[in-house]
Each structure stands twice: as C-alpha cells, then as structure tokens.
Amino acid sequence: MVSSPKYIFVTGGVTSSLGKGIISASLAKLLQARGYRVTIQKLDPYINIDPGTMNPYEHGECYVTDDGAETDLDLGHYERFLNQPTSQSNNITTGRIYYNVIMAERRGDYLGKTVQVVPHITDEIKRNIFLLGETGKYDIIITEIGGCVGDIESLPFLEAVRQIRMDKPHEDVIVIHLTLIPYLSKVGELKTKPTQHSVRDLQESGILPDILVCRTEHDLPMDIRQKIARFCNVNLNAVIESIDAETIYDVPLLMKKEKLDEIVLQKLHLSAEREPDLESWKAFLGKLKNPTTDVEIALVGKYVELKDSYKSIVEAFTHAGAANEAKVKIRWIQSERLAESEELLNNVHGILVAPGFGERGFEGKIKAVKYARERKIPFFGICLGMQCAVVEFARNVLHWENANSTEMDKNTPYPVIDIMENQRNLENKGGTMRLGAQPCKIRKATLAYQIYQKEMISERHRHRYEFNSQYLEDFEKAGMIASGRNPDSNLVEITELKNHPFFIGTQFHPELKSTVESPHPLFVHFVRAAIAHKNSRL
Ligand code: GLN
C-alpha cells in the first residue's frame, strides 16, 4: 500500500503518566480503521533487559506476548486497541540495546574500534526501530519513547530519532510531542509555559515536533492554541487537545474529533480519502456506556494497591462487561487481609483469584477459593489463582493435610503444585519461566468446552510451577477435573469443578488476549455466570 514504511515517534514532556501509550494506540486505531497497516512499539529507557524481573509495584503488570517476550504494559493497550498481536520487537529497553552492543563488542564485531554511545548505541537503537518496518508487514510504525524529554536516560533514543529524521525523506518521519497544559484554578487559567519549556528541551536534542498533543482538564480556547502554536513552532492545526476522558476507549474518537489522524496523514503525504470505519468500536462504546445491569466481582490479589498490576484483567472485565451489557464493579481485596476475615467477600457475585508470586497473601487466596467453592459463587482462578484452587481442593476436599505448592512449602507432604523439571536447576531469573503462547486441548463435555466451543486453543503462559499430574486421578475421582491439557507435554492447563455452577482455573493468562473487538470468552462467560448468580439471589 505504502511504498516505504512511515515512522511516527511519540515523545512526552512536562510529566510522566500523560497517556502516551493511549494516544499512540488511539492514533494507530484511527489509521488502521482507514485501512493502513499499523503497529506500535515502545522504547523504554531503563537498564533492565525487560520488565520480567521487576516487582509489579515498580512497573505494573508485565505483559507477555505470543512469542514469550515479557514486556511493558502499554503493549497490552496496543493489542487491545488494534486487535492484533505484538512481539518481542515491539518493546526494546536501554538494557537490551546495551546488552546487544556489549555482546557484539565481546565477539570482536567492532574490529578494535572504541565503542561509543554515538554511533554504536544509537545505531543499535535505529536497527531495532527499523526491524518492524523491514518485515514489510506495516505501512506505519508508531514508536513511543518512554520517559520524559529532558531525562538523562532518554537522550540516546532522542539522538536516534534526530538521526532518523536526517536520514529519511521529510515526509517519512514525524514527531508527535505529548505535553501537559495545567489549569491554575485560583486564577482560572490554562498555562502554556511548561509546554513551551518542554518543546525547548526537545529542540535542544535537535528535534522540532510536528504535532503537539496537549493533555488538559479543560477545553483549549483558540487564543491558547494560537499561543502554543506560535511559541512552539507548530502549525495551528497541529495543536491537538487531549482532554481527560471518561474511559481510555473514548480517546480514539476524541482524537478523531481533533483531526489528529488527518494532520498525521497530511504530514506523511498519505491519503486521507478513506474515512475511518469505527462501527464496531462505536458499538462497543455504546454497550460500555449503557449497561442494563451491574455485577460485583472480587479481585483477590496481593498487589491491589497498585491497580496497574492487574491492568489486563481489569480491561478484560471491561470488554466482557460490555459484551454482557453489564457494568462490572471490581471489589479490590488485599489477599493478606482475607486471612483474618472473609467478610470482605460478603455479597460478591463472582470471585477472581489473581496471578502472583511468592508466599505473601497465599493463605488468604486459599480462603477466597474455599468461600467460592462452598457457597457456589462463580470462581475464576488465573495462574497462581488456579494453583490456589488445586491446593484448596487437596486440603479441604481430599483432606490432605498441609498439601501445598512447593513454591510456598518445599517440604509439603502433598506437593500438588510442583516446579517443572526443566525449571529446577535454573539460576537466572530473567526470561526463564514457561513463557508465551502454547497450545491446549480441551476435553469435550466440560465447562471449558462450552465456553471456547472448540477443541484446540492457544493461550499465553508465565509461570514456573505446574499441577503435579501424579495426583490427577485422585482429583478427578473427587470432582476436580483437568478439562484442558497441553497436547505435547500433557501438562494440566485448565481445571474445573464438576458440581459447581462455574468454577474454573487456568494455568495460562487469558486476560492477555482479550481485546475490544474480541472479548475473551472465559471473561465473558464468567461475567455472565456472575450475573446469573446475582439474579438467582434476588
Ligand atoms: N508463582 C506461580 C508460578 O510461578 C504463578 C505465576 C503466575 O501467577 N503468573 O508458577
């Protein structure tokens, strides 16, 4: 369609958390809806090779792609908006760049030269930026640069962008800068000075932005837009207002109203003739905003203080809620607190036990499972949540005292969840889990089959421990069955209870594959079961 791929860089200034990821995803959505083939990548300025080893409190959820990359949670937004998978090439950190360069240096690839930030680090950054473009699969590559302009860490990325602008024809590369226009309530004024300074910082790196997206709590009046255009050296129609939205899913339409996609296409010399087809997006928004019922679901986890730790789960509930025309209210429950009292679960319509690592909060999660199992409340356990369901069943149904996962108790007499053989002797923590998409075969006449309506599925993994198949027969006799297994390794991927209206655990992470246009069936059916549970009690 487009002869050579176009590159859009999205930088940010004034403060972090302005929503670069959502702006990038929204722009991509608009361009995709006009028929362009678009992808988005994120460059992160930290030194970790990837966020896989970071605590969720540090960085929020670690998003996993089909090819097993542990990535920034913004990639989740890219997939949810574009309804297409990302991969390792869509997330690159400073750590990975330096790692590649240092490995090349050790191999002798630089032939005795001094290895420097410019050109070696910037060349490696550019090589990574172009990887997606070179696949021939995309017309437009949007690259979001993490952090803020002015950060020491971002400098090599900005230098790479400056060079790319020099190297490529002007109409092939544009820079969008996202800034904040604060509102001083005491004087009742919107202030442009931080934006002016931020653009000046960007200019110091040799980059003139083509478009400014201004995050604001109030509409930007014409005189403010003119002032921003004049002082920041951009066209008036390239000053785009990004007003606080009710939901992130409104942003594509807000950006369309501001004509962000049109000005982008104009600057890239691409046709804007075809109007964006946003019918299914609007249908989703219509359902999201006009629920006919509501339902309350407990999300039991140990990182609940930072909601970003469960980003994909929350968004999967948004998609599944809309599919059911229901508002899903999440009751956040710190699993450690459940160990003392289960009252926190009173009157919920469904219970989800979240993924996680380590002992803290584990016993509280076990309590949540027991509560759901005994009271026949719809239950959904994801990864560690599924493992909790297995341990709870072993202890309270099979009466195996002190049954546990060996992650929590190495000496348990009943290691019903155990470390995988190939994980046993690993010393490195980074990138060594069972990661990425794997096939799973579903047994017919099970809840899982009823939900997926097919035998073979593929879902993403991120864990070290597994159901210990040695005990499977005992479990199945007592009513907990393995309804999904890996066709190659036979590992148990889905467990469910026979005599319960809705009780399912998955070793994989279905939340990672839910999108606006394809809400995940497990979430859709779980929400449906929660609504049914609520109605049965009225
Ligand atoms: N800690 C568990 C394991 O490593 C579960 C991981 C998870 O919930 N993602 O197997």
At how many degrees (to 10) do helices 222-232 and 193-204 cross?
A: 20
533 is catalytic: no
383 is catalytic: yes
Q: How far is the CA of 398 from the centre of ligand 1 (A)?
A: 23
Task: Locate the ligand 1 atom nearest the alpha carbon of residue 383 and give its number.
Answer: 8
- Fill in the amino acid letter for 213: V
- For the chain, 538 residues long, the average pLDDT of each consecutive 10-residue run is 89 90 97 97 94 86 95 95 96 96 96 95 97 95 94 95 96 98 94 96 96 96 96 96 95 97 97 95 97 97 91 97 98 92 94 95 96 97 98 98 96 94 75 90 97 98 95 97 96 96 98 97 98 92
From the number of C-beta atoms within 10 Å of its C-beta (0-12, 13-18, 19+), residue 444 rates as exposed
Task: Locate the ligand 1 atom nearest the alpha carbon of residue 385 and give its number.
Answer: 8
Phi, psi of 193 (to 5 degrees): -60, -45
Contact 219, 243 (CB under 8 A): yes
Q: How far is the CA of 417 from the centre of ligand 1 (A)?
A: 10
Q: How far is the CA of 338 from the centre of ligand 1 (A)?
A: 20
Q: How far is the CA of 511 from the centre of ligand 1 (A)?
A: 15
Residue whose CA is at the smallest distance from ligand 1 atom 6: 463
Identify the pLDDT of residue 381: 98
Distance of CA 271 to the CA centre of its chain: 31
Residue whose CA is at the smallest distance from ligand 1 atom 3: 463
CA-to-CA separations, 486 to 115, 471, 482, 509, in angstroms, rounded: 46, 17, 11, 14
Residue whose CA is at the smallest distance from ligand 1 atom 8: 355
Tokens of 179: 């800034």
Residue whose CA is at the smallest distance from ligand 1 atom 5: 384
The torsion angle over the Cα atoms of residues 214, 219, 223 and 226, rounded to 10 degrees, is 30
Contact 330, 337 (CB under 8 A): no
At how many degrees (to 10) do helices 279-289 and 311-323 cross?
A: 90
Tell which residue, 251, 24, 38, has the closest CA to residue 145.
24
Q: For the whole model, what pTM was predicted?
A: 0.95
Contact 457, 440 (CB under 8 A): yes
Identify the pLDDT of residue 312: 97
Q: How far is the CA of 53 from the centre of ligand 1 (A)?
A: 13
The whole-angstrom separation of Cα 112 and Cα 335 is 56
Mutation test residue for ligand 1: of 357, 380, 416, 419, the one with most atoms within 8 Å of CB: 357
Phi, psi of 212 (to 5 degrees): -115, 125
Mutation test residue for ligand 1: of 418, 464, 493, the one with most atoms within 8 Å of CB: 464
Q: How far is the CA of 57 from the centre of ligand 1 (A)?
A: 16
Place of tokens 């069943």: 393
Contact 223, 252 (CB under 8 A): no
Contact 317, 524 (CB under 8 A): no
Mutation test residue for ligand 1: of 384, 467, 509, the one with most atoms within 8 Å of CB: 384
Query: Which of 459, 511, 525, 533 is flagged as catalytic?
Result: 511
Which residues' Cβ are closer than 6 Å to ligand 1? 355-357, 383-384, 407, 462-465
Distance of CA 412 to the CA centre of its chain: 35
Query: Which of 509, 520, 525, 533 is flagged as catalytic?
Result: 509
The whole-angstrom separation of Cα 32 and Cα 408 is 46
Mutation test residue for ligand 1: of 387, 419, 435, the one with most atoms within 8 Å of CB: 387
Query: Which of 214, 232, 383, 440 is flagged as catalytic?
Result: 383
Q: How far is the CA of 354 from the centre of ligand 1 (A)?
A: 10
Identify the pLDDT of residue 156: 96
The whole-angstrom separation of Cα 196 and Cα 403 is 62
The whole-angstrom separation of Cα 232 and Cα 196 is 6
Task: Locate the ligand 1 atom nearest the alpha carbon of residue 382 and give its number.
Answer: 8
Which 3 state secondary structure label does DSSP give 107?
A: helix
